[in-house]
Amino acid sequence: MRSPLTKAPRLQQIVAVLLLSLASCDSESDRVLEETFERLYTIQPNTDIRIQNGDGAVLVYGSNTNEMRVHATKKAYSRTRLKEIAIDVSVQPTFVSIKVRLPPKPTWALFDRSGTVDCTIVVPATTNISQLRLDAGEVFVDGMRGPGVHAQLAAGRMVVHNCFTDVDLALQRGNLTISYDWWEHGTFSVQANIVRGNAWAFFPSDAVFRLVAETLHGKLASDFDDTAAQTAPAGGKKIETLVHGGGHAAIKVRMANGDIKIVEANP
């Protein structure tokens, strides 16, 4: 058995390594460095768009123009890291790819200083968002009316606002908000699958849709009078009903672990 004296040198080495690691972090400026990327492209109203980012935000706004505006803010704690962040935009006649390339995350440091990117993208509302992928941060999609929106977020916050199109959402961990300021009697659907988190859906009083909401482990509630929570076969809670008689719109929210609240926004 080693004596405390023989353990002392090794303990000192460990402490020295930790101090050097902390010193290396402090040697860089604690001020966040920023760099802006902004481009304007002319695209077709039926363009297929794919967006991929690592850490940060992706905000997509539908507009009545035939242009796509990409505004991105790169953030990092060192000039070297800032320059290693790349934003690749490829524009084809009917296809657009926007991909953020972040430098590899350091495995030896105590803090992740690899950088983030916040992207604001304005596109024609009739385009198709066939892929929107973000590892961590915030996803916001507003005013889309094209064939569909397919968004995936690993961890963070996701908001879909006034999207009268087929919306397919996947969230691993975080909070989801679906909201409509007004209602249009068209054929569209929103399907959301959340592994862990909470979900809120806000609808105006005159909204007409088929509702399916289910949580395996959590609470489920609705403000609409014609809905009542039922016990699902797996032991969770489920609502499946026609709000104001149904119609051609369908809202489906499935939660593995967390609460779901259906809110009548303008009672």
Residue 10 lies in a domain: no
Range of the domain at 44: 32-264
Distance CA 223, CA 243 (A): 11
Residue 129 lies in a domain: yes
Backbone torsions φ then ψ of 217, nearest 5 degrees:
-140, 90
Mean pLDDT by 10 residues, the chain (267 residues): 51 50 48 93 97 97 96 93 94 96 69 79 98 98 98 98 98 98 95 98 96 95 73 78 92 97 87
Residue 22 lies in a domain: no
What pLDDT, on a 0 to 100 scale, did the predictor assign at position 177?
98
Residue 7 lies in a domain: no
What pLDDT, on a 0 to 100 scale, did the predictor assign at position 110?
46
Residue type for 119, please? C
Q: Among 162, 214, 224, 225, which residue's Cα sits nearest to residue 188?
A: 162
Distance CA 90, CA 81 (A): 23
pTM for the model stands at: 0.85
What pLDDT, on a 0 to 100 scale, did the predictor assign at position 26?
42
What pLDDT, on a 0 to 100 scale, did the predictor assign at position 27?
44
- Number of separate domains in the chain: 1
What pLDDT, on a 0 to 100 scale, did the predictor assign at position 31?
86
**DSSP H helix total and E strand total for the chain:** 2, 15
What pLDDT, on a 0 to 100 scale, did the predictor assign at position 106?
64
Name 40's Cβ contacts closer than 8 Å, sequence gap at least 6: 67, 68, 69, 70
What pLDDT, on a 0 to 100 scale, did the predictor assign at position 12?
58
81-120 in b/e form (b: 16+ CB < 10 A) is bbebbebeeebeeeebebebebbeeeeeeeeebbbbbbbb
Parallel, antiparallel or unpaired: strands 237-243 and 249-264: unpaired
What pLDDT, on a 0 to 100 scale, did the predictor assign at position 66?
94
What pLDDT, on a 0 to 100 scale, did the predictor assign at position 266?
77
Distance CA 195, CA 254 (A): 9
- In the three-class reduction of DSSP (H, G, I as helix; E, B as strand; rest coil), residue 25 is classed as helix
Residue 118 lies in a domain: yes
Half-sphere exposure of 177 (CA within 13 A, CB side): 15
Residue 165 lies in a domain: yes
What pLDDT, on a 0 to 100 scale, did the predictor assign at position 17?
44
Beta carbons of 258 and 199 less than 8 angstroms apart: yes
Residue 134 lies in a domain: yes
- In the three-class reduction of DSSP (H, G, I as helix; E, B as strand; rest coil), residue 93 is classed as coil
Residue 24 lies in a domain: no
Distance CA 14, CA 30 (A): 25
Distance CA 164, CA 180 (A): 9
